[in-house]
Protein backbone atom coordinates (compact mmCIF):
# COMPACT_ATOMS: atom_id res chain seq x y z
CA UNK A 1 0.00 0.00 0.00
CA UNK A 2 1.28 3.49 -0.82
CA UNK A 3 2.63 5.54 2.12
CA UNK A 4 -0.12 8.14 1.77
CA UNK A 5 -2.98 5.63 1.65
CA UNK A 6 -1.59 3.96 4.74
CA UNK A 7 -1.46 7.28 6.64
CA UNK A 8 -5.03 8.01 5.60
CA UNK A 9 -6.28 4.64 6.78
CA UNK A 10 -4.51 4.95 10.12
CA UNK A 11 -5.71 8.56 10.39
CA UNK A 12 -9.37 7.53 10.11
CA UNK A 13 -8.89 4.96 12.87
CA UNK A 14 -7.33 7.55 15.14
CA UNK A 15 -10.00 10.13 14.37
CA UNK A 16 -12.72 7.62 15.29
CA UNK A 17 -10.88 6.92 18.54
CA UNK A 18 -10.91 10.62 19.45
CA UNK A 19 -14.72 10.82 19.27
CA UNK A 20 -16.41 11.73 22.54
CA UNK A 21 -19.96 10.67 23.33
CA UNK A 22 -22.89 12.09 25.23
CA UNK A 23 -25.71 9.73 26.21
CA UNK A 24 -24.02 7.19 23.97
CA UNK A 25 -24.12 9.45 20.89
CA UNK A 26 -21.07 10.93 19.12
CA UNK A 27 -20.93 14.61 19.89
CA UNK A 28 -17.40 15.90 19.16
CA UNK A 29 -13.70 15.06 19.18
CA UNK A 30 -11.10 15.52 21.91
CA UNK A 31 -8.35 18.02 21.12
CA UNK A 32 -5.62 15.43 21.73
CA UNK A 33 -5.55 11.78 22.79
CA UNK A 34 -3.22 9.34 24.42
CA UNK A 35 -0.47 11.66 25.59
CA UNK A 36 1.48 11.46 28.79
CA UNK A 37 1.75 15.26 29.01
CA UNK A 38 -0.44 17.16 31.44
CA UNK A 39 -3.93 17.31 29.92
CA UNK A 40 -4.60 21.04 30.61
CA UNK A 41 -7.69 21.51 28.46
CA UNK A 42 -6.68 19.20 25.61
CA UNK A 43 -9.17 16.63 26.93
CA UNK A 44 -11.97 18.93 25.80
CA UNK A 45 -13.70 19.42 22.46
CA UNK A 46 -12.64 22.79 21.04
CA UNK A 47 -15.09 24.27 18.58
CA UNK A 48 -12.41 25.44 16.15
CA UNK A 49 -10.59 22.10 16.33
CA UNK A 50 -13.80 20.15 15.82
CA UNK A 51 -14.54 22.25 12.73
CA UNK A 52 -11.70 20.40 10.98
CA UNK A 53 -12.95 17.00 12.18
CA UNK A 54 -16.46 17.97 11.07
CA UNK A 55 -15.25 18.90 7.60
CA UNK A 56 -13.47 15.53 7.30
CA UNK A 57 -16.60 13.69 8.53
CA UNK A 58 -18.92 15.61 6.20
CA UNK A 59 -16.66 14.96 3.23
CA UNK A 60 -16.93 11.27 4.02
CA UNK A 61 -20.71 11.43 4.39
CA UNK A 62 -20.67 10.94 8.19
CA UNK A 63 -23.17 13.59 9.16
CA UNK A 64 -24.68 12.42 12.46
CA UNK A 65 -21.79 13.56 14.67
CA UNK A 66 -21.92 17.02 13.10
CA UNK A 67 -25.65 17.33 13.71
CA UNK A 68 -25.24 16.24 17.35
CA UNK A 69 -22.40 18.72 17.81
CA UNK A 70 -24.44 21.56 16.31
CA UNK A 71 -27.35 20.88 18.66
CA UNK A 72 -25.19 20.41 21.76
CA UNK A 73 -23.28 23.63 21.25
CA UNK A 74 -26.49 25.47 20.41
CA UNK A 75 -27.68 24.50 23.90
CA UNK A 76 -24.47 25.92 25.35
CA UNK A 77 -24.98 29.26 23.62
CA UNK A 78 -25.94 31.96 26.10
CA UNK A 79 -29.60 32.89 25.81
CA UNK A 80 -29.94 35.65 28.40
CA UNK A 81 -29.17 39.31 28.23
CA UNK A 82 -26.25 39.57 30.60
CA UNK A 83 -25.44 42.48 32.87
CA UNK A 84 -23.04 40.43 34.99
CA UNK A 85 -19.52 40.87 33.61
CA UNK A 86 -18.48 37.40 34.82
CA UNK A 87 -21.13 35.64 32.72
CA UNK A 88 -20.80 35.04 28.96
CA UNK A 89 -22.73 37.60 26.91
CA UNK A 90 -25.91 36.72 25.03
CA UNK A 91 -25.23 34.83 21.78
CA UNK A 92 -21.66 33.81 22.70
CA UNK A 93 -20.53 30.23 22.14
CA UNK A 94 -17.84 28.49 24.20
CA UNK A 95 -14.22 27.87 23.20
CA UNK A 96 -14.48 24.27 24.34
CA UNK A 97 -16.60 21.85 26.32
CA UNK A 98 -16.38 18.46 27.91
CA UNK A 99 -18.74 15.72 29.04
CA UNK A 100 -18.88 15.33 32.83
CA UNK A 101 -20.99 13.17 35.17
CA UNK A 102 -23.74 14.95 37.04
CA UNK A 103 -26.04 12.91 39.33
CA UNK A 104 -25.03 9.80 37.45
CA UNK A 105 -25.88 11.29 34.05
CA UNK A 106 -23.87 12.84 31.23
CA UNK A 107 -23.74 16.63 31.34
CA UNK A 108 -21.85 19.26 29.34
CA UNK A 109 -19.43 21.68 30.94
CA UNK A 110 -18.45 24.62 28.79
CA UNK A 111 -15.50 27.00 28.92
CA UNK A 112 -16.13 30.46 27.46
CA UNK A 113 -12.55 31.45 28.13
CA UNK A 114 -13.09 32.00 31.86
CA UNK A 115 -10.83 29.03 32.64
CA UNK A 116 -8.62 29.14 29.53
CA UNK A 117 -4.94 30.09 29.75
CA UNK A 118 -4.82 33.91 29.91
CA UNK A 119 -8.66 33.95 29.91
CA UNK A 120 -8.92 34.58 26.17
CA UNK A 121 -12.33 35.15 24.57
CA UNK A 122 -13.25 32.74 21.73
CA UNK A 123 -14.74 35.08 19.13
CA UNK A 124 -14.31 32.48 16.37
CA UNK A 125 -16.43 29.72 18.00
CA UNK A 126 -19.84 31.00 17.01
CA UNK A 127 -18.59 31.76 13.49
CA UNK A 128 -17.39 28.20 13.09
CA UNK A 129 -20.77 26.96 14.37
CA UNK A 130 -22.60 28.87 11.66
CA UNK A 131 -20.13 27.85 8.94
CA UNK A 132 -20.53 24.19 9.95
CA UNK A 133 -24.30 24.51 10.03
CA UNK A 134 -24.24 25.74 6.45
CA UNK A 135 -21.78 23.01 5.39
CA UNK A 136 -23.97 20.37 7.07
CA UNK A 137 -27.08 21.72 5.32
CA UNK A 138 -25.27 21.85 2.00
CA UNK A 139 -24.18 18.21 2.29
CA UNK A 140 -27.39 16.72 3.73
CA UNK A 141 -29.90 19.11 2.15
CA UNK A 142 -31.68 18.78 5.50
CA UNK A 143 -33.17 22.27 5.46
CA UNK A 144 -35.70 21.29 8.13
CA UNK A 145 -32.86 21.12 10.60
CA UNK A 146 -31.56 24.62 9.81
CA UNK A 147 -35.14 25.88 9.87
CA UNK A 148 -35.95 24.54 13.36
CA UNK A 149 -36.98 27.43 15.54
CA UNK A 150 -34.18 26.89 18.10
CA UNK A 151 -31.59 26.91 15.30
CA UNK A 152 -33.06 30.07 13.77
CA UNK A 153 -33.01 31.73 17.21
CA UNK A 154 -29.35 30.75 17.61
CA UNK A 155 -28.47 32.43 14.30
CA UNK A 156 -30.33 35.60 15.28
CA UNK A 157 -28.63 35.74 18.69
CA UNK A 158 -25.27 35.50 17.02
CA UNK A 159 -26.15 38.27 14.57
CA UNK A 160 -27.33 40.44 17.48
CA UNK A 161 -23.95 39.95 19.08
CA UNK A 162 -22.08 40.88 15.89
CA UNK A 163 -24.23 43.60 14.39
CA UNK A 164 -25.52 45.66 17.30
CA UNK A 165 -24.01 48.67 19.09
CA UNK A 166 -20.26 48.88 19.46
CA UNK A 167 -17.47 51.40 19.92
CA UNK A 168 -16.19 51.86 16.38
CA UNK A 169 -17.60 52.40 12.89
CA UNK A 170 -15.74 50.00 10.61
CA UNK A 171 -17.38 47.04 8.87
CA UNK A 172 -14.65 44.82 10.34
CA UNK A 173 -14.94 43.36 13.83
CA UNK A 174 -12.94 44.67 16.78
CA UNK A 175 -11.62 41.92 19.05
CA UNK A 176 -9.14 41.39 21.89
CA UNK A 177 -5.82 39.56 21.45
CA UNK A 178 -5.90 35.77 21.06
CA UNK A 179 -9.58 35.51 20.08
CA UNK A 180 -9.12 32.76 17.45
CA UNK A 181 -6.70 29.99 16.50
CA UNK A 182 -3.82 32.19 17.66
CA UNK A 183 -5.11 32.21 21.22
CA UNK A 184 -2.12 33.78 22.94
CA UNK A 185 -0.82 37.31 23.03
CA UNK A 186 0.68 37.84 19.57
CA UNK A 187 -0.34 41.38 18.61
CA UNK A 188 -3.48 40.04 16.93
CA UNK A 189 -5.92 42.31 18.77
CA UNK A 190 -7.90 44.92 16.88
CA UNK A 191 -8.99 43.73 13.44
CA UNK A 192 -7.08 40.51 12.71
CA UNK A 193 -7.63 39.00 9.29
CA UNK A 194 -8.70 35.55 10.47
CA UNK A 195 -11.63 36.94 12.43
CA UNK A 196 -12.73 39.11 9.50
CA UNK A 197 -12.74 36.18 7.06
CA UNK A 198 -14.64 33.97 9.50
CA UNK A 199 -17.09 36.83 9.98
CA UNK A 200 -17.52 37.02 6.19
CA UNK A 201 -18.23 33.28 5.99
CA UNK A 202 -20.61 33.43 8.94
CA UNK A 203 -22.61 36.32 7.45
CA UNK A 204 -22.82 34.48 4.12
CA UNK A 205 -24.08 31.41 5.97
CA UNK A 206 -26.62 33.36 8.03
CA UNK A 207 -28.25 35.05 5.06
CA UNK A 208 -28.59 31.68 3.31
CA UNK A 209 -30.00 29.84 6.30
CA UNK A 210 -32.45 32.33 7.79
CA UNK A 211 -36.01 31.81 6.59
CA UNK A 212 -37.32 35.04 5.05
CA UNK A 213 -40.22 36.16 7.29
CA UNK A 214 -41.30 39.14 9.37
CA UNK A 215 -38.87 38.39 12.20
CA UNK A 216 -35.89 37.50 10.04
CA UNK A 217 -36.07 40.00 7.19
CA UNK A 218 -34.36 42.73 9.17
CA UNK A 219 -31.54 40.31 10.04
CA UNK A 220 -31.16 39.14 6.43
CA UNK A 221 -30.97 42.73 5.19
CA UNK A 222 -28.48 43.69 7.89
CA UNK A 223 -26.30 40.66 7.12
CA UNK A 224 -26.33 41.48 3.38
CA UNK A 225 -25.42 45.11 3.92
CA UNK A 226 -22.63 44.31 6.36
CA UNK A 227 -21.33 41.63 4.01
CA UNK A 228 -21.15 44.10 1.19
CA UNK A 229 -19.24 46.70 3.25
CA UNK A 230 -16.99 44.07 4.81
CA UNK A 231 -16.05 42.55 1.45
CA UNK A 232 -15.33 45.94 -0.07
CA UNK A 233 -13.27 46.99 2.94
CA UNK A 234 -11.13 43.84 2.99
CA UNK A 235 -10.57 43.68 -0.76
CA UNK A 236 -9.69 47.34 -0.88
CA UNK A 237 -7.80 48.18 2.30
CA UNK A 238 -6.31 44.86 3.48
CA UNK A 239 -5.07 43.87 0.04
CA UNK A 240 -1.33 44.18 -0.50
CA UNK A 241 0.40 43.64 -3.81
CA UNK A 242 3.41 45.39 -5.25
CA UNK A 243 1.63 48.44 -6.71
CA UNK A 244 -0.22 48.86 -3.43
CA UNK A 245 3.01 48.62 -1.44
CA UNK A 246 4.49 51.30 -3.63
CA UNK A 247 1.45 53.46 -2.99
CA UNK A 248 1.80 53.04 0.79
CA UNK A 249 5.52 53.82 0.50
CA UNK A 250 4.62 57.18 -1.05
CA UNK A 251 1.60 57.93 1.18
CA UNK A 252 1.00 61.39 2.58
CA UNK A 253 0.08 61.28 6.24
CA UNK A 254 -2.00 63.35 8.69
CA UNK A 255 -4.83 63.79 6.19
CA UNK A 256 -8.07 65.00 7.75
CA UNK A 257 -11.60 64.82 6.36
CA UNK A 258 -13.60 63.01 3.73
CA UNK A 259 -11.11 63.10 0.84
CA UNK A 260 -8.09 61.55 2.52
CA UNK A 261 -6.41 58.74 0.62
CA UNK A 262 -4.36 57.34 3.47
CA UNK A 263 -7.50 56.82 5.52
CA UNK A 264 -5.83 54.90 8.34
CA UNK A 265 -2.84 57.24 8.53
CA UNK A 266 -0.30 54.50 7.84
CA UNK A 267 3.30 55.76 8.02
CA UNK A 268 5.66 54.54 5.29
CA UNK A 269 8.36 53.99 7.90
CA UNK A 270 6.28 51.17 9.39
CA UNK A 271 6.88 49.04 6.27
CA UNK A 272 9.19 46.24 7.49
CA UNK A 273 12.48 45.71 5.68
CA UNK A 274 11.78 42.05 4.73
CA UNK A 275 8.71 42.96 2.69
CA UNK A 276 10.17 44.57 -0.42
CA UNK A 277 12.11 41.45 -1.38
CA UNK A 278 9.45 39.01 -0.21
CA UNK A 279 6.41 40.35 -2.01
CA UNK A 280 6.30 38.85 -5.49
CA UNK A 281 5.61 40.92 -8.57
CA UNK A 282 2.79 38.49 -9.45
CA UNK A 283 1.82 37.86 -5.81
CA UNK A 284 -0.22 39.47 -3.09
CA UNK A 285 -2.03 38.74 0.17
CA UNK A 286 -4.35 40.22 2.74
CA UNK A 287 -2.38 41.88 5.53
CA UNK A 288 -2.73 40.53 9.05
CA UNK A 289 -4.43 43.56 10.62
CA UNK A 290 -5.50 47.10 9.87
CA UNK A 291 -6.34 49.85 12.32
CA UNK A 292 -5.44 53.43 13.18
CA UNK A 293 -1.82 54.07 12.07
CA UNK A 294 -1.37 50.33 12.03
CA UNK A 295 -0.91 47.93 9.16
CA UNK A 296 0.38 44.58 10.35
CA UNK A 297 2.27 43.32 7.32
CA UNK A 298 2.63 39.75 8.63
CA UNK A 299 1.18 36.95 6.53
CA UNK A 300 -1.48 34.97 8.44
CA UNK A 301 -1.97 31.63 6.72
CA UNK A 302 -5.40 30.67 7.96
CA UNK A 303 -6.93 34.02 7.01
CA UNK A 304 -5.37 34.06 3.55
CA UNK A 305 -6.28 30.46 2.75
CA UNK A 306 -9.86 30.84 3.99
CA UNK A 307 -10.25 34.07 2.03
CA UNK A 308 -9.18 32.22 -1.12
CA UNK A 309 -11.62 29.33 -1.07
CA UNK A 310 -14.53 31.07 0.64
CA UNK A 311 -14.72 33.59 -2.21
CA UNK A 312 -13.85 36.62 -0.10
CA UNK A 313 -10.84 37.18 -2.38
CA UNK A 314 -11.80 38.01 -5.97
CA UNK A 315 -10.40 35.88 -8.81
CA UNK A 316 -7.23 37.96 -9.29
CA UNK A 317 -6.57 38.05 -5.57
CA UNK A 318 -7.01 34.27 -5.33
CA UNK A 319 -4.37 33.73 -7.99
CA UNK A 320 -2.01 36.27 -6.43
CA UNK A 321 -2.27 34.56 -3.02
CA UNK A 322 -1.53 31.19 -4.63
CA UNK A 323 1.42 32.71 -6.52
CA UNK A 324 2.79 34.07 -3.29
CA UNK A 325 2.35 30.67 -1.63
CA UNK A 326 3.91 28.78 -4.53
CA UNK A 327 6.93 31.04 -4.92
CA UNK A 328 7.56 31.56 -1.22
CA UNK A 329 6.96 27.87 -0.50
CA UNK A 330 10.28 27.42 1.34
CA UNK A 331 9.39 30.23 3.74
CA UNK A 332 5.75 29.34 4.29
CA UNK A 333 5.72 25.55 4.01
CA UNK A 334 9.27 24.17 3.79
CA UNK A 335 9.33 20.81 5.55
CA UNK A 336 5.79 20.98 7.01
CA UNK A 337 2.60 22.89 6.07
CA UNK A 338 2.26 25.73 7.10
CA UNK A 339 3.44 28.62 9.28
CA UNK A 340 0.49 30.18 11.12
CA UNK A 341 2.18 33.55 10.91
CA UNK A 342 5.17 34.74 8.86
CA UNK A 343 7.72 36.05 9.65
CA UNK A 344 8.36 35.43 13.35
CA UNK A 345 8.57 38.28 15.84
CA UNK A 346 12.14 38.42 17.14
CA UNK A 347 14.20 40.29 19.73
CA UNK A 348 12.56 43.32 21.28
CA UNK A 349 9.42 42.82 19.15
CA UNK A 350 8.98 39.35 20.61
CA UNK A 351 9.50 40.71 24.14
CA UNK A 352 7.08 43.57 23.78
CA UNK A 353 4.39 42.02 21.61
CA UNK A 354 4.15 38.53 23.12
CA UNK A 355 5.11 39.57 26.65
CA UNK A 356 8.25 37.37 26.34
CA UNK A 357 6.10 34.26 25.87
CA UNK A 358 8.47 31.24 25.93
CA UNK A 359 5.97 29.10 24.03
CA UNK A 360 5.92 31.66 21.23
CA UNK A 361 9.70 32.06 20.92
CA UNK A 362 10.74 33.05 17.38
CA UNK A 363 10.01 30.30 14.83
CA UNK A 364 7.95 28.29 17.31
CA UNK A 365 4.20 27.64 17.85
CA UNK A 366 2.08 30.58 16.65
CA UNK A 367 5.16 32.74 16.13
CA UNK A 368 6.54 31.26 12.92
CA UNK A 369 5.84 27.62 13.86
CA UNK A 370 4.13 25.26 11.37
CA UNK A 371 0.61 23.87 11.86
CA UNK A 372 -0.06 20.71 9.86
CA UNK A 373 -3.83 20.90 10.46
CA UNK A 374 -3.92 23.77 7.95
CA UNK A 375 -3.07 21.41 5.11
CA UNK A 376 -6.82 21.06 4.50
CA UNK A 377 -7.06 24.80 3.90
CA UNK A 378 -4.15 24.71 1.43
CA UNK A 379 -5.94 21.92 -0.45
CA UNK A 380 -9.19 23.91 -0.49
CA UNK A 381 -7.50 27.11 -1.69
CA UNK A 382 -5.60 25.21 -4.39
CA UNK A 383 -8.80 23.58 -5.64
CA UNK A 384 -10.66 26.89 -5.71
CA UNK A 385 -7.82 28.50 -7.71
CA UNK A 386 -7.71 25.49 -10.09
CA UNK A 387 -4.15 24.64 -9.05
CA UNK A 388 -4.73 21.33 -7.21
CA UNK A 389 -1.07 20.35 -7.66
CA UNK A 390 -0.22 22.76 -4.82
CA UNK A 391 -2.63 20.89 -2.55
CA UNK A 392 -1.19 17.51 -3.54
CA UNK A 393 2.32 18.75 -2.87
CA UNK A 394 1.37 19.96 0.63
CA UNK A 395 -0.40 16.67 1.41
CA UNK A 396 2.62 14.63 0.30
CA UNK A 397 4.92 16.67 2.54
CA UNK A 398 2.59 16.37 5.56
CA UNK A 399 1.96 12.65 5.08
CA UNK A 400 5.68 11.93 4.76
CA UNK A 401 6.17 12.73 8.46
CA UNK A 402 2.94 12.94 10.45
CA UNK A 403 2.34 9.24 11.02
CA UNK A 404 6.00 8.53 11.89
CA UNK A 405 6.17 11.50 14.22
CA UNK A 406 2.91 10.55 16.00
CA UNK A 407 0.71 13.39 14.60
CA UNK A 408 2.20 16.35 16.51
CA UNK A 409 0.32 19.55 17.09
CA UNK A 410 2.96 21.78 15.49
CA UNK A 411 6.54 21.99 14.17
CA UNK A 412 9.31 24.52 14.82
CA UNK A 413 12.17 26.19 12.99
CA UNK A 414 12.51 28.37 9.92
CA UNK A 415 12.08 25.34 7.70
CA UNK A 416 9.54 23.53 9.89
CA UNK A 417 11.80 20.48 10.24
CA UNK A 418 11.84 20.29 14.04
CA UNK A 419 8.94 18.74 15.90
CA UNK A 420 7.41 21.44 18.12
CA UNK A 421 9.25 21.88 21.39
CA UNK A 422 6.09 21.42 23.46
CA UNK A 423 3.95 19.74 20.80
CA UNK A 424 1.48 17.15 21.92
CA UNK A 425 1.18 13.92 19.95
CA UNK A 426 -2.03 12.53 18.48
CA UNK A 427 -3.42 16.02 18.08
CA UNK A 428 -6.85 15.50 16.57
CA UNK A 429 -6.96 18.42 14.15
CA UNK A 430 -3.54 17.42 12.79
CA UNK A 431 -5.10 14.06 11.90
CA UNK A 432 -8.39 15.53 10.65
CA UNK A 433 -6.57 18.20 8.59
CA UNK A 434 -4.77 15.58 6.54
CA UNK A 435 -7.94 13.52 6.11
CA UNK A 436 -9.98 16.53 5.01
CA UNK A 437 -7.27 17.61 2.55
CA UNK A 438 -7.14 14.13 1.06
CA UNK A 439 -10.94 13.87 0.71
CA UNK A 440 -11.15 17.33 -0.87
CA UNK A 441 -8.46 16.56 -3.42
CA UNK A 442 -10.20 13.29 -4.24
CA UNK A 443 -13.63 14.98 -4.58
CA UNK A 444 -12.91 18.62 -5.45
CA UNK A 445 -16.58 19.28 -6.23
CA UNK A 446 -17.33 18.93 -2.52
CA UNK A 447 -15.55 22.19 -1.80
CA UNK A 448 -18.92 23.77 -2.57
CA UNK A 449 -19.95 23.31 1.06
CA UNK A 450 -17.30 25.84 2.16
CA UNK A 451 -17.35 28.23 -0.76
CA UNK A 452 -19.80 31.09 -1.27
CA UNK A 453 -21.26 33.03 -4.18
CA UNK A 454 -19.97 36.51 -4.94
CA UNK A 455 -21.71 38.96 -2.59
CA UNK A 456 -23.37 42.07 -4.02
CA UNK A 457 -21.00 44.93 -3.26
CA UNK A 458 -22.08 48.51 -2.72
CA UNK A 459 -18.88 50.56 -3.06
CA UNK A 460 -18.25 53.02 -0.28
CA UNK A 461 -15.43 54.73 1.53
CA UNK A 462 -15.04 54.08 5.22
CA UNK A 463 -18.64 53.50 5.87
CA UNK A 464 -21.36 55.74 6.97
CA UNK A 465 -21.70 58.73 4.69
CA UNK A 466 -20.80 61.93 6.47
CA UNK A 467 -24.14 63.58 6.85
CA UNK A 468 -23.52 66.56 9.14
CA UNK A 469 -25.09 66.07 12.51
CA UNK A 470 -26.81 69.33 13.35
CA UNK A 471 -28.06 69.66 16.89
C1 LIG B 1 -3.98 25.70 21.32
C2 LIG B 1 -4.17 26.41 19.97
C3 LIG B 1 -5.63 26.57 19.67
C4 LIG B 1 -6.33 25.22 19.74
C5 LIG B 1 -6.07 24.52 21.07
C6 LIG B 1 -6.59 23.11 21.11
O7 LIG B 1 -4.46 26.51 22.36
O8 LIG B 1 -3.52 27.64 19.97
O9 LIG B 1 -5.80 27.17 18.41
O10 LIG B 1 -7.70 25.38 19.52
O11 LIG B 1 -4.68 24.47 21.32
O12 LIG B 1 -5.99 22.34 20.14
Q: Could you tell me if residue 100 is inside a domain?
A: no
Ligand 1 pocket test, candidate residues 117, 181, 184, 192, most atoms within 8 A of CB: 181
Distance CA 441, CA 423 (A): 27
**What does the alpha-carbon distance between residue 88 and residue 227 come to, in Å, rounded to a whole number?**
26
Tell me if 112 is assigned to some domain.
Answer: no
Mean pLDDT of the chain: 95
Residues 124 and 93: their CA atoms lie apart, in Å, by 9
264 vs 115, 290, 294, 467, CA distance in Å?
36, 8, 7, 20
Distances (CA, A) of 367 to 340, 413, 461: 7, 10, 33
What pLDDT, on a 0 to 100 scale, did the predictor assign at position 2? 82
The residue segments making up the domain with residue 367 are 135-449
Name which residue leads in pLDDT, 245 or 38.
Answer: 245
CA–centroid distance, residue 180 to ligand 1 (Å): 9
Mean pLDDT of the 8-28 span: 97
Whether 180 is in the pocket of ligand 1, judged by its Cβ within 6 Å, is no
**Is ligand 1 within 6 A of the CB of residue 401?**
no
pLDDT tier at 469, thresholds 50, 70, 90: low
Nearest to 118 by CA among 196, 185, 44: 185
Region of 409 (left: φ > 0; alpha: ψ -120 to 50; beta: rest) is alpha
Reference 137, options 125, 110, 155; nearest CA is 155
pLDDT for 3 equals 86
At residue 426, the pLDDT reads: 96
Residue-wise pLDDT for 284-339, tens only, equals 999 999 999 999 999 999 999 999 999 999 999 999 999 999 999 999 999 999 99
Per-residue confidence (pLDDT) for residue 35, from 0 to 100: 64
The span from the CA of 471 to the CA of 458, in Å, is: 29
Ligand 1 pocket residue status of 183, Cβ below 6 Å: yes
Whether 31 lines ligand 1, by a CB cut-off of 6 Å, is yes
pTM: 0.96
126 found inside a domain? no
Residue 263 lies in a domain: yes
User: Residues of the chain with pLDDT > 90: what percent?
Assistant: 88
Q: Is residue 41 part of a domain?
A: no
Q: What angle do CA 382, 179, 138 make, to 5 degrees?
A: 45
Question: What's the pLDDT at 305?
Answer: 98
Query: How far apart are the CA of 175 and the centre of ligand 1, in A?
Result: 18
Convert the pLDDT of each residue in 84-110 to its tens digit.
988 888 999 999 999 999 999 999 999
Q: Is residue 334 part of a domain?
A: yes
* Protein residue with least CA distance to atom 9, ligand 1: 181
- Which residue, judged by its Cα, is nearest atom 2 of ligand 1? 181
Per-residue pLDDT for 200 more than 80? yes
Q: Is the pLDDT of residue 462 over 60?
A: no
| Integer Cα distance of 339 and 353 in angstroms | 18
Could you tell me if residue 234 is inside a domain?
yes
Number of compact structural domains in the chain: 1
The response to whether residue 49 sits with its C-beta less than 6 Å from ligand 1 reads yes
Whether 327 is in a domain gets the answer yes
Determine the residue of 49, 339, 429 to mutate for testing ligand 1's pocket, defined as the one with the most ligand atoms within 8 A of the Cβ atom.
Answer: 49
CATH of the domain at 301: 1.50.10
Q: Is the pLDDT of residue 458 over 90?
A: no
Amino acid sequence: MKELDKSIEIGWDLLEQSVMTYDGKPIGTLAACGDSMEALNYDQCFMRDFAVSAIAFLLRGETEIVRNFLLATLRLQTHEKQLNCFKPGEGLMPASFKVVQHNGKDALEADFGERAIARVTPVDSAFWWLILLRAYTNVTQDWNFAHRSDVQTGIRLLLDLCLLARFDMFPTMLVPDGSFMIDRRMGVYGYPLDIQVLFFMALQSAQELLIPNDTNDVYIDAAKTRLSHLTFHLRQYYWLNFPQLNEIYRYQSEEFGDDSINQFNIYADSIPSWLEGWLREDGGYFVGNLGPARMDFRWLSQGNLLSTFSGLANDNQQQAILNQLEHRWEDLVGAMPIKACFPALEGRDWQLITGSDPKNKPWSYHNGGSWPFLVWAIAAAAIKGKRPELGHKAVEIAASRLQDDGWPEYYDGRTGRLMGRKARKRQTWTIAGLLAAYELLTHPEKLEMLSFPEPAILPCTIDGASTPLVL
